[in-house]
Structure 1
């Protein structure tokens, strides 16, 4: 918890003012019973009306001052806690942005969402409570004890019985809840994961008639979360009635022994009333602390989960002194590259060497699991090579700043990813400063203009999250337009034409040849028709480079490429 509280440092001045205001409020609250005692003993008992009015007016002024301090402290604590939450969310999000796939798999997407939202909110609420209680509650308790002893030392002996009983009651309840709160946050993760999988795969679930199964999965996760929540809150619910019972018995004991002291003329009525108020303030302070402790277990569990995210060190980092390219042509060289995923038994890629030249189109083809996507992920440094080097403009990508490296690349992923917003906004995602003409030109090259023109508002048409209201081919063309508008030196298309029909595929490739005549282009594809016109074709098989050359050269020298061509030609004839 201490580690995460360091994010309160920008609000140090607010915290100091909160402490001062709460200190003043506590002093005024402790002073009010003393004034009331004087009114009763010197005013009411003696019938001194002017004294009652005079002291009463002073009590009113003290009360107003206390309220002002309380309101001001509440406003400042709310501002500081909200700012704290904003800083932590920003830090966690920025840190997660540095993660690679390995780091994401460590915690899971659903858990990261819960940690960034629910967990931070829990800690933020605790900070708000802490800022308001950390001075007031201890000061009220300590001040109440001192004033109670000052009022009547003999009657104060009751506190020697009350305080240990209160402490044991709080410890007994809260001690059992710490582990349960941690387990409850884990159940929230589980529920979030089931819900996210259902919403993401709703079409598959319905097509395979697995709705009942998914409902059963959700109900199981929901029941587990509900059961542990009920268990926790049943334990916590016992705390307040237990405290009230102790407070009421304490008040009864005070009145009993105090009445005897008054009867023996050893104590005045006003002093007894003041003593009861001081003891009540002590109990109230303990209740405030217990209310804060009510949040401590869950806040601790949440803080621990947030720190787990912040403690994860990204495996891919920028070099201490990045190397800047002296030339900027977009040439990419693979030198004896091998790659193995952590924990895997064998290499995914083995001893791959080739060069991507500017002004040429290079295609990568191979069967499923051949290592095509893994190979292209090494260029923007989504993964680091196990052996060998990947050079961009003559520099090892591990020696380059990641931002500089990726600024050179227009990447179109295998699965088209779009964001909620307009079509123009999605294309401009590649270059936020792109002009309207540049956006329209990129869409035209990507063969997207025709279907965009049929949209209700053209480029200003709002699309849903993930482009759920678009077809697979439309999403792919918008993804390609997004890369084109960036005008990078290197284009990477990871099987980005798979959802296009043959006619659109051919038109798009012709348009790309005219548009990208000076750029380095790498296309990963499954269809031979997509790669047949490439300047060089790289054939992968089980992570090995088994052929490289033009279509004609490979048809003469590469048996695996010949098999791919024959199998696809047969399928086309059957179709």
Structure 2
């Protein structure tokens, strides 16, 4: 886990090595200064040697200057190394997430991934800087000061040793207890980010239903949870500071008292006592810094595990050793395909699917909500892998293709249309970055988008807000269709992508597809039978199975589900989620009753006239 993270240091290795070296140099200079100070007092002031005071004083100034330079250089390189480490870590996580299949992404929430890329990486950045600087400086300072103190007077210095052992044991239990709270805190950030994301993305719904107070309460609860956990953790950690200061002052009193007696008995000089007091502060302050490093590391352990989960997650979709880069044609074959989103699912979403679709065919796909229409087409572009059976495109199993090559030839307009902030042209060129303006306009004409784009003051340079919030649902759908067409795919999949388009425009789009791209295989998922009735063949899905497959006329004659829905829709309403049989008859009776009531009202008005 740690080794995986350290790989992200990369080009900042030199800065990472230079930081602790400068910290060691700073420690050596700090350790030298009290020793020189003792020499000034004992050999200079007490002996009345002004020359010795000047010489040793000059050495002290030089040592202080070198220590200052080393401290500044260590801080600079430490900041560079930690910030660079965090930058590389974010980039690696983001790039790794791009390789995830839909199945991998389903394991993480959006809010959880955002927290890992922000809060968790920041925790690691701070911990890494503390390790490079304080984790080197504190032990080195404590060891050097201890050696110098024992060199001066081993008897008095044993006080430091006892204090360090006692404090070390106490700090171990404090940190161990606080770590549990910190591990609970960071997952709570996921809940907080989820609350913010949900509220901001659905702000129109929140305001439409006047739910601001409820959303505020939800956010406050998530924020309060983080507050409560951090208060408990900090209440444990905060004991560290007063305990440390109590120990420091106790050591100073003991050394002053015992040292004064030793001076009187000539067993210790005044300069040596001053050095011991200085080393006392060095030793105990180093221990305090070391304790804060351990606290920071304990806080970051939860973040390390969460980040490692992302970096160690491997995509369940891999390119074969010798991938096929050329898709021969747009033919599609399903052979005894079963599919489940989770391997341990009790029942598959798709069950024993067998299909033969010829290249260039237009295939309609209809069925009720939850009948697995989208799951079926997701297997064509290998957004998911089948659980059992095989899917063939162009006569080859989709697992044999290079995934990028396959997806470039299978263009999908998803059910949830997404546009990105930028101009219309920039959004269209997601389909083909090198597309000329004329090609973009041709694709928009096919998708019936050119008409409304020309009405914009800036035309194709009109700015699209994030998520396409400044265009209507139908306009967004048509832009997404045009974007997909720019890829010039062999297979085009429209996943209910004209639901917000009026019937006349829907007909124009289908007619343009039939006339302009006859060689492209088109899979059209729809709820309206009018959107697919002129397709070459139509698939009727029911609970993950193919209930019918044929032309419009064949299904009307042979498929009960298709016929009932067709009749209900042509009579003025109904779709695949509408109950059939008695419910349809009841609706027909209601409509007949309404018509008779209206006829009676008209006749009464005529009589009154």
- Equivalent residue of 2:571, what SS? helix
- Equivalent residue of 1:330, what SS? coil
Contact 2:135 2:293 survives alignment (8 Å):
no
Q: Does 1:330 align with 2:330?
A: yes
Counterpart in the other structure of 2:472: 471
- Looking at structure 1, the residues matched to 515 and 172 of structure 2 have their Cα atoms a distance apart, in angstroms, of 75
Q: TM-score scaled by structure 2?
A: 0.90
Q: Does 1:54 align with 2:55?
A: yes
Counterpart in the other structure of 2:2: 2
Gaps of 5+ in 2: 575-590, 596-609
- Equivalent residue of 1:571, what SS? coil
- Looking at structure 1, the residues matched to 372 and 251 of structure 2 have their Cα atoms a distance apart, in angstroms, of 75
- Looking at structure 1, the residues matched to 48 and 424 of structure 2 have their Cα atoms a distance apart, in angstroms, of 83
Contact 1:77 1:128 survives alignment (8 Å):
yes
Counterpart in the other structure of 1:431: 432
Contact 1:467 1:475 survives alignment (8 Å):
yes
- Equivalent residue of 1:334, what SS? strand
Deviation, 1:324, is 4.2
- Equivalent residue of 1:469, what SS? coil
Query: Which has more radius of gyration?
Result: 2
Counterpart in the other structure of 1:392: 393
- Looking at structure 2, the residues matched to 41 and 444 of structure 1 have their Cα atoms a distance apart, in angstroms, of 95
- Higher alpha-carbon deviation: 421-430 or 38-47: 38-47
Counterpart in the other structure of 1:310: 311
Q: Which deviations, in whole Å up to 9, do the C-alpha atoms of 1:282-302 show, x marking residues without a partner?
A: 112112111211211111111
- Looking at structure 1, the residues matched to 170 and 463 of structure 2 have their Cα atoms a distance apart, in angstroms, of 58
Q: Does 1:375 align with 2:373?
A: no
Deviation, 1:526, is 0.9
Counterpart in the other structure of 1:508: 509
Counterpart in the other structure of 1:417: 418
- Looking at structure 1, the residues matched to 186 and 347 of structure 2 have their Cα atoms a distance apart, in angstroms, of 37
Q: TM-score scaled by structure 1?
A: 0.95
Contact 1:417 1:466 survives alignment (8 Å):
yes
Counterpart in the other structure of 1:173: 174
Contact 2:555 2:562 survives alignment (8 Å):
yes
- Equivalent residue of 1:114, what SS? helix
Contact 1:378 1:390 survives alignment (8 Å):
yes
Contact 2:120 2:304 survives alignment (8 Å):
yes
Contact 1:452 1:458 survives alignment (8 Å):
yes
- Looking at structure 1, the residues matched to 478 and 49 of structure 2 have their Cα atoms a distance apart, in angstroms, of 91
Q: Which deviations, in whole Å up to 9, do the C-alpha atoms of 1:32-84 show, x marking residues without a partner?
A: 11111111222222333332222222221222112222222222222221221
Deviation, 1:280, is 1.1
Contact 2:331 2:360 survives alignment (8 Å):
no
- Equivalent residue of 1:135, what SS? helix
- Looking at structure 2, the residues matched to 206 and 332 of structure 1 have their Cα atoms a distance apart, in angstroms, of 46
Deviation, 1:456, is 4.3
Counterpart in the other structure of 2:237: 236
Contact 2:103 2:384 survives alignment (8 Å):
no
- Looking at structure 2, the residues matched to 24 and 44 of structure 1 have their Cα atoms a distance apart, in angstroms, of 29
- Looking at structure 1, the residues matched to 338 and 172 of structure 2 have their Cα atoms a distance apart, in angstroms, of 58
Contact 2:319 2:400 survives alignment (8 Å):
yes
Counterpart in the other structure of 2:360: 359
Q: Does 1:340 align with 2:340?
A: yes
Aligned ranges for residues 281-296 of structure 1 at < 5 Å?
Answer: 281-296=282-297
Question: For residues 243 and 457 of structure 1, do their structure 2 counterparts lie closer, same or farther at Cα, with a shift above 3 Å needed?
Answer: farther
Contact 1:448 1:474 survives alignment (8 Å):
yes
Q: Which deviations, in whole Å up to 9, do the C-alpha atoms of 1:71-104 show, x marking residues without a partner?
A: 2222222222122112222222222223333333
Aligned ranges for residues 476-515 of structure 1 at < 5 Å?
Answer: 476-515=477-516
- Looking at structure 2, the residues matched to 95 and 426 of structure 1 have their Cα atoms a distance apart, in angstroms, of 24
Q: Does 1:297 align with 2:298?
A: yes
Deviation, 1:10, is 4.2
- Equivalent residue of 1:499, what SS? coil
Counterpart in the other structure of 1:567: 568
Deviation, 1:9, is 4.9
Counterpart in the other structure of 1:408: 409
- Equivalent residue of 1:416, what SS? coil
Q: Which deviations, in whole Å up to 9, do the C-alpha atoms of 1:309-344 show, x marking residues without a partner?
A: 22333332222332444x622222222322233243
Contact 2:325 2:406 survives alignment (8 Å):
no
Contact 2:179 2:233 survives alignment (8 Å):
no
CA RMSD of aligned residues (A): 2.1
Counterpart in the other structure of 2:75: 74
- Higher alpha-carbon deviation: 106-115 or 333-342: 333-342
- Looking at structure 1, the residues matched to 157 and 408 of structure 2 have their Cα atoms a distance apart, in angstroms, of 73
Contact 2:103 2:341 survives alignment (8 Å):
no
Deviation, 1:377, is 0.6
Q: Which deviations, in whole Å up to 9, do the C-alpha atoms of 1:174-213 show, x marking residues without a partner?
A: 1211000010112111222222222233333333443333
- Looking at structure 2, the residues matched to 27 and 160 of structure 1 have their Cα atoms a distance apart, in angstroms, of 20
Deviation, 1:114, is 0.7
- Equivalent residue of 1:112, what SS? helix
- Looking at structure 2, the residues matched to 323 and 448 of structure 1 have their Cα atoms a distance apart, in angstroms, of 35
Counterpart in the other structure of 2:130: 129
- Looking at structure 1, the residues matched to 481 and 157 of structure 2 have their Cα atoms a distance apart, in angstroms, of 80
Counterpart in the other structure of 1:553: 554
- Looking at structure 2, the residues matched to 92 and 21 of structure 1 have their Cα atoms a distance apart, in angstroms, of 31
- Looking at structure 2, the residues matched to 169 and 243 of structure 1 have their Cα atoms a distance apart, in angstroms, of 10
Deviation, 1:369, is 1.8
- Looking at structure 1, the residues matched to 377 and 200 of structure 2 have their Cα atoms a distance apart, in angstroms, of 30
- Looking at structure 1, the residues matched to 72 and 432 of structure 2 have their Cα atoms a distance apart, in angstroms, of 48
Q: Does 1:112 align with 2:113?
A: yes
Contact 2:409 2:487 survives alignment (8 Å):
no
